[in-house]
Each structure stands twice: as C-alpha cells, then as structure tokens.
C-alpha cells in the first residue's frame, strides 16, 4: 500500500491540469452533484483525473447541455470578455481589441477560421491562446500557469482590469490612446470606449 507516498499537488499543478481540460474544470467548478464533489476532491488529492473519469464527466456534460440551456458564471468563464468584444463589434469597431497589462485580446472575424473566438497575444505579438466559442480560455501548450491565471482573471472581469490598466498607465485599454481630460484619467478609461464595449 502506498499510503501518502505521493505529496499533495500544489494549487498551480491543479490549475495547470484544469487549463489542459477546461471543459472538465468548468464543470467541476459549477456542478453541485455529489459526483462532482468527489471528482473535485480526487483532483485536489492527485492533481489529475484518469481518462475514464474525464470521459464519464464529458458524458454528463453532454447530457446536461441537452437539457439545460444556461450556465452560471465560474472561474474559467470568459463570457464577460467575449460579450464586451462582441458588443464593440456590434457598435461599429470592425476589429475590437483590448490591451490590458502586457496582453492584447482581439476578436476573430465572423468569416475567419475561428468565428466567435478571441485571440490572446503578448503585446510583442506572441500568440498565447484563444477563447473558444464556448467561452473557455485555451492556452498554447507550455504557457506558464501564472500567465494563464492572469488572462483568466481578465476574462472574469475585463472592465475592472481595463480600468486598473488605464489608471496605472494613463492609456485607455480600448483604443490605446493617452487619457487626456481629468475625468477620463480619473475613470481609467475613455467614456466613449467604455460605452462601445457595453460597459
């Protein structure tokens, strides 16, 4: 018997597994059924789930999706970011982009290879990952967990992160222009940009 031979995984190790399996992670964070609780406990114990467990959960998700139209917000949900980018597009920005911290988030065109997706790049142009039409962040392989975590944080509350960025840098996250009048500087975001993104 191998009692307690393996050390408990760190929070980062668990998060890394979740990023590789965002649909499962999303479900574990959201589901209230006891199977989800036991799978969550197992993930926290061992840092991963077996292929059989993953398949069982995917079957449940599939069933739930057939019967339940709406999902609650959860820790991997980039829906707020997606909604803001779509709103900006509807409000006339052909290529909406948000620059927050060192990240640049753009919206894939409706006729692109990934309609409905968002792309996340470093401001130097390095591709870091995408947000799927199901609003989950999928990082490139090998992306540092800490970077992924910060991108997920932006997805959860893009307005707050945009305002923080604007206050810290003096630059509007939406249009990358210098905030000039005192009201905008105080707000951390340009008022026209803010309304264009539906905020």
Looking at the Cβ atoms of 19 and 193, the one nearer to Zn ion is 193
Please list, in sequence order, all residues whose beta carbon lies within 8 angstroms of the beta carbon of residue 157, skipping any fewer than 6 positions away.
80
Among 137, 174, 184, 197, binds Zn ion (CB under 5 A): 174
Query: Would you give the binding string for Zn ion spanning residues 133-172, x where CB under 5 A is met?
Result: ---------------------------------------x
From 23-31, 125-133, 158-166, 185-193, give the range in contact with Zn ion by CB under 5 A.
Answer: 185-193
CB of 197 to Zn ion, least distance (A): 9
Spatial distance between the Cα atoms of 199 and 192, rounded to a whole number of angstroms: 10
Q: Are 73 and 151 in contact (CB under 8 A)?
A: no
CB of 172 to Zn ion, least distance (A): 3
| Lookup: tokens for 19 | 């990023």
Which 89-108 residues touch Zn ion, going by CB under 5 A? none
E strand or H helix at 191 = helix 191-196
CB of 162 to Zn ion, least distance (A): 9
Which ranges of 21-173 does DSSP label H, i.e. alpha helix?
A: 22-30, 34-46, 51-67, 79-90, 145-156, 158-169
Interface with Zn ion, residue 175, by CB under 5 A? yes
Task: Give the residue from 62, 57, 69 showing the smallest Cα distance to 33.
Answer: 57
Among 193, 196, 197, 199, binds Zn ion (CB under 5 A): 193
Looking at the Cβ atoms of 63 and 177, the one nearer to Zn ion is 177
For every residue of 81-118, DSSP letters joined together read HHHHHHHHHHTT-SS-EEEETTEEEEE--TTSSSTT-E
Number of residues that bind Zn ion (CB under 5 A): 5
Looking at the Cβ atoms of 13 and 86, the one nearer to Zn ion is 86
| List of residues contacting Zn ion (CB under 5 A) | 172, 174-175, 190, 193
């Amino acid at each position: 018997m191998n009692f307690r031979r393996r050390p408990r995984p760190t929070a980062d190790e668990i998060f890394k597994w979740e990023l590789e399996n965002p649909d499962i992670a999303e479900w574990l964070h959201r589901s209230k059924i006891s199977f989800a609780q036991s799978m969550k406990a197992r993930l926290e114990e061992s840092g991963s789930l077996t292929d059989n467990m993953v398949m069982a959960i995917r079957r449940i998700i599939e069933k739930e999706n057939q019967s339940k139209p709406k999902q609650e917000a959860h820790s991997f949900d980039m829906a707020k970011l997606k909604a803001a980018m779509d709103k900006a597009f509807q409000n006339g920005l052909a290529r909406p982009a948000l620059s927050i911290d060192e990240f640049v988030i753009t919206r894939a065109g409706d006729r692109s290879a990934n309609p409905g997706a968002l792309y996340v790049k470093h401001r130097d142009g390095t591709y870091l990952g995408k947000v799927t039409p199901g609003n989950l962040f999928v990082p490139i392989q090998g992306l540092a967990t800490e970077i992924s975590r910060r991108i997920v944080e932006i997805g959860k509350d893009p307005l707050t992160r945009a305002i923080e960025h604007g206050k810290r840098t003096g630059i509007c996250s939406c249009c990358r222009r210098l905030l000039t009048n005192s009201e905008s500087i105080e707000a951390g975001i340009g008022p026209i940009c803010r309304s264009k993104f539906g905020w």
